[in-house]
Structure 1
Amino acid sequence: MTTASPLDPRAFRSALGCFATGIAVVTTIAPDGLPLGVTVNSFSSVSLDPPLVQFCLGRAAMSFEAFTTAPSFAVNILADDQEDLSARFSRRDLQERWAGVAVETWDTGVPILSGCVASLECDRAHLFDGGDHVIVVGRVRRLASREDGAPLLYVRGRYGRVA
C-alpha cells in the first residue's frame, strides 16, 4: 500500500478513485431556456421518505449558476453502452454536448436522456456547502428504470463495467 501525506491532493484523489461509482449526466434548463447537462460521478440517494437524492457540482463549473438556481433537474444514470455520453457531457462547449442526443421531457421540461438505465426528475430542495463543490439535494418527483442493461462504472480514472 502506498502511503502519502493526507493533504496531498494527488494521493487523496487516487485513494477516492478506488471507490467504484456509477456515472450520471445531470440535466436542467438554463435561465435563457437552453438545455444544460454535466457528467457527474458524485451522485447518491439521501432518503427514501421523502425520496431525496444528491449530486455534487464544482464551483468552477461553467453551468454552476444555472444548476444552483434552477428549480428542477434530472439525473440520468448511464448504461454501460453510453460511455460516449459521459465524455460528451464533460466537454467545455455547453451546447455542442446536445448535438444528436435523443431526449424526452416529463413534468418539469428538463431533458431526460434516452437509453439510460434510470432517470430521476427532481425538484431542487437544498444546497449545502461542500468546499470547492456545492451539494445539490433534490426531491424525486418522477422516475423510470430499465430491468435490462447494466450501469456504466468509473474506478481509478477509467470506465468499467459490471462483470
Structure 2
Amino acid sequence: MAEETFRRVFRKHPAGVAIVTAAGEGGPVGFTATSLASLSSAPPLVSFGVGRRASSWATVCAAEFVAVHLLETDQQQLATVFARSGADRFAPPTSWRTGPHGVPLLDDVSAVMVCRKVYDLPAGDHTLVIGQPVYAREGAAARPLVYLDGRYGSVSR
C-alpha cells in the first residue's frame, strides 16, 4: 500500500489526543501523540509511537519513566504547542510541575499516568514504546479531545 493511501485511510479513524513528556539532561521534552493505546490490563500496559525524527525521540527512548497526559476538548491549543516543531513547549502559558520519578506533569489535564518504560521497539519511522503505569491522577469527568481528518474535535456522551 502506498504511504499516501495509508494516511488517507487513517484520516477517517478518530484518535484520542495525548501528550507524552519525559525528563532529559537538557530539560523536559514532550510531544502530542494520537497513537496511545491501552495494551493490557493485567498487568496494566500502555503503548504509543514516537517518530524517530521528533526532537523528543532520543530523550523519550533514553528515559526510564514517561508521563502520558489525556487531554480535554478545550485543550486544543496545548496539543498544538506540543505538536509544533521547535516550540518551547514548557514555557508559559503551559502550566506544569515535576512529578513522581522526575517526569514533567502538565496541570489541568483529564488524566495523567506516570509509566515505567518496559520496552522500545523499532517500528518503521517510529519507535513503539510500551510502558507500565506506576502512578495515575484523574481529573473531573472527561470531554476528550480527539483528532479526525486533520482536525481536533470532541466526543459527546
Query: What is the TM-score normalised by the length of structure 1?
Result: 0.90
* 2:64 alignment partner in structure 1: 71
Q: Any unmatched runs of 5+ in structure 2?
A: none
Query: Which 4+ stretches in 1 moved above 3 angstroms?
Result: none
Given that residues 17 and 33 in structure 2 are in contact (C-alpha distance below 8 angstroms), is that contact kept between their aligned partners in structure 1? yes
For residues 11-50 of structure 1, the aligned pairs below 5 Å read 11-32=5-26, 34-50=27-43
Report the AA paired with residue 23 of structure 2. Answer: I
What are structure 1's unaligned runs of at least 5 residues? 1-6
Alignment partner of 1:26: what SS? strand
Instruction: Tell me the C-alpha RMSD between the 2 structures.
Output: 1.2
Structure ID, larger Rg: 1
What TM-score, normalized by structure 2, do the two folds share? Answer: 0.93
How far apart in 1 are the matches of 2:74 and 2:24? 28
| Partner Cα distance (2:19, 2:53) in 1 | 17
* Secondary structure at the counterpart of residue 6 of structure 2: helix
Aligned to 1:156: 149
- Quote the Cα distance in structure 2 between the aligned partners of 1:106 and 1:97: 17
3-state SS, counterpart of residue 19 of structure 1:
coil
Q: CA deviation at 1:62?
A: 1.6
Identity of aligned residues (%): 34
Pairing 1:1-163 to 2, within 5 Å after superposition: 7-32=1-26, 34-93=27-86, 96-100=88-92, 101-163=94-156
- Equivalent position SS for 1:82: helix
Looking at structure 2, the residues matched to 86 and 143 of structure 1 have their Cα atoms a distance apart, in angstroms, of 20
